[in-house]
Amino acid sequence: MKNDLRERRERAGLSQADLGAEVGVTRQTINSIERERYDPSLELAFELAAFFDCHIEDIFDPAGV
């Protein structure tokens, strides 16, 4: 699924490991989401949206599948 997670993470000055720790997943999970090789669970998508104070649709574009 298309997403702008990498851009948001970099703007926040976070490493993949830092963001993973904030939302309770590994660096590898964040990497896989950013590379569009893994679609997060709904729970993780909500965690990421809450962390970045936005809507899930602001990060993930279901139409860009």
**What's at 18, amino acid-wise?**
D
2-53 CATH fold: 434 Repressor (Amino-terminal Domain) (1.10.260)
Each residue's pLDDT tens digit, 4-59:
999 999 999 999 999 999 999 999 999 999 999 999 999 999 999 999 999 999 99
- What pLDDT does 64 receive? 63
What residues contact 34, with CB distance under 8 A and at least 6 apart? 3, 5, 6, 9, 16
Are 22 and 8 within 8 A, CB to CB? no
Whole-prediction pTM value?
Answer: 0.93
- What pLDDT does 65 receive? 56
> 2 pairs with which residues across the strands?
61
